[in-house]
Chains A and B, each alone.
Chain A
């Protein structure tokens, strides 16, 4: 069974500061993928970043980077220079090879990030 844990239900961060959103996962499969999605109050899910279990380097996408620590089974999202528009729910998700072929994702419970001006 796979499991995604996000231990921070809510975070408040000053604008322009960096923020780290925690995500740990549990899988016995050596091949898996990790995703981060952003959900603003409007409801749509916005893909942010992807990390494959065999990727040698941490994924980066603009202001987003993923601090992938495989031995610790953690995949924390780092947002640099936070902006007011970053206020949203953030979900960590995982797909492992038991789901290859149908690409099912398992989501964490999410972290509500609020950027303070």
Chain B
């Protein structure tokens, strides 16, 4: 299957700093990428839909100024958590949609963010 990478896999930062997470589709082009957040023992919550070359579409309740998304190319989307606080600590997962096949999304391995 298609491969999606995320970097970093784990990050610890101080409160007030910003953290950038990269999501790359390694062997296909993805016009659409998605960013999810997952709390421990909970389901995935969609944060935003990222389309190459246009602004991201945020889900209700997600602060777009807090979670900046940039989809600069067909293989790269970035999520920047600005002025991170302890409540932003979570597991962030991206997925990429190649637009072919069974319409499945391919997920990255996730990034565990801990804000001290």
Contact = CB atoms under 8 A, between A and B. Distances in A.
Interface stretch (B19-27, B80-88, B104-112): B104-112
B103 A95 contact: yes
A46 B106 CA distance: 8
Contacts of A106: 46
B-side interface size class: 20 to 34
Where chain B touches its partner, the secondary structure class is: strand
Contact of A33 (B43, B97, B102): B102
B93 interface: yes
Interface in B1-49: 1, 32, 34, 42-44, 46, 49
Contact of A47 (B44, B49, B104, B110): B104
A111 to B, nearest CB: 11
A41 to B, nearest CB: 11
